[in-house]
Amino acid sequence: MLSVGMNMKGRDFLNLQDYTPGEIGALLELAEELKEKQKSNVPHPYLQGKTLGMIFQKSSTRTRVSFEVAMYQLGGRPLFLNAGDLQLNRGESIADTARTLSRYLDGIMIRTYSHADVEELAKYAAIPVINGLTDLNHPCQIMADLMTVKEHKGQLAGLKLAYVGDGNNICHSLLFGCAKVGMSISVASPKDYWPQEQIVNQARQDALSAGAAVRITTDPVEAVSGADVVVTDVWASMGQEVEKAERVAVFAPYQVNRKLVAHAKPDYIFLHCLPAHRGEEVVEEVIDGSHSVVWDEAENRLHVQKAVLAALL
């Protein structure tokens, strides 16, 4: 079972761009297998005796609970580390923290602001480091999104995904993830909030190799037209609270509502990483409607994270 991930053992999981299409596919297959084992009550303690340290600088519901449950179900132990309680908060360097934790743990999951800090942690750690979210990327979430699309659509390559909203970490990882698996992606966002140009350019190269396309536009109708999958996210992420009023005004034309999704394919599915601000980026009629698969998406965070943990640790 774990043979699909053996070539990943000891690696970090910081960015989907670091993984080949074949490796992403192997992780998704492993996640599907682990999900089936859980549903069938088949024990799968592949990480017995292993300990995962989980560093949190950002609050969390799905990331913390899914990683903790994942380690328990794999036979290992999770260790919650509030960043404010670590010596990091008193000036110890990231490098020294990485070296120290490497002597105690088998892996580190970190959810924080700066992606550069995660890269530095991984540079000096002698154990795998997993990106649970940074302001730049959210690879674990997008693995769950890909798994959910595959479950409901039966494929990934050849589909069209529309992302409507802020060109944030979710958008960045969707660009990389879709391009890697051959899924075309159209992003609709106000010009000042477009995803980073470097990430868009790299995603375009990957998409071209996979027979897919990347489109960035200011027109949400253009993005959603003919889409198999419609995705959105909050307009103001953690750390952007002071910008919320301004962002609500700017993004109001990008709300995912009944009128907008009418341009998608009749059998489209709707995704949202959650938490959702109902009535802002999405209306209840959509997120609670028959096309919404957000709860399957939330559950699949557990299964993809188990796959990443099993493969890396």
Catalytic residue from among 138, 172, 247, 272: 138
d(CA 244, CA 25): 37
Query: Hey, CA dihedral for 111, 65, 305, 86, is it positive or negative?
Result: positive
CA dihedral of 210, 211, 213, 214, whole degrees rounded to 10: 10
Is 171 noted as a catalytic residue in this protein?
Answer: no
Is 233 noted as a catalytic residue in this protein?
Answer: yes
Q: Is 111 annotated as a binding residue?
A: yes
Q: Is 301 annotated as a binding residue?
A: yes
Query: Residue 84: CB partners within 8 Å, gap ≥ 6?
Result: 57
Q: Is 64 annotated as a binding residue?
A: no
Catalytic residue from among 17, 57, 73, 141: 141
Catalytic residue from among 233, 247, 255, 272: 233
Is 273 noted as a catalytic residue in this protein?
Answer: yes
Q: Is 238 annotated as a binding residue?
A: yes
Phi, psi for residue 272 in degrees, rounded to 5: -155, 130
d(CA 61, CA 14): 20
Is 141 noted as a catalytic residue in this protein?
Answer: yes
d(CA 157, CA 166): 25
d(CA 238, CA 145): 21
Catalytic residue from among 11, 172, 301, 303: 301
Q: Is 7 annotated as a binding residue?
A: no
Q: Is 103 annotated as a binding residue?
A: no
Q: Is 93 annotated as a binding residue?
A: no
Q: Is 296 annotated as a binding residue?
A: no
Catalytic residue from among 12, 57, 106, 111: 111
Q: Is 102 annotated as a binding residue?
A: no
Give the long-range contacts of residues 294-297, CB within 8 A, separation 24 or more.
294/270, 296/148, 296/151, 296/152, 297/144, 297/145, 297/148, 297/271, 297/272, 297/273
Q: Is 61 annotated as a binding residue?
A: yes
Catalytic residue from among 106, 273, 303, 305: 273
Q: Is 148 annotated as a binding residue?
A: no
Q: Is 274 annotated as a binding residue?
A: yes
Query: Hey, CA dihedral for 99, 103, 106, 109, is it positive or negative?
Result: negative
Q: Which positions make up the binding site for carbamoyl phosphate?
A: 60-63, 87, 111, 138-141, 273-274, 301
Q: Which positions make up the binding site?
A: 60-63, 87, 111, 138-141, 169, 233, 237-238, 273-274, 301
Q: Which positions make up the binding site for L-ornithine?
A: 169, 233, 237-238
Which residues are identified as catalytic? 111, 138, 141, 233, 273, 301
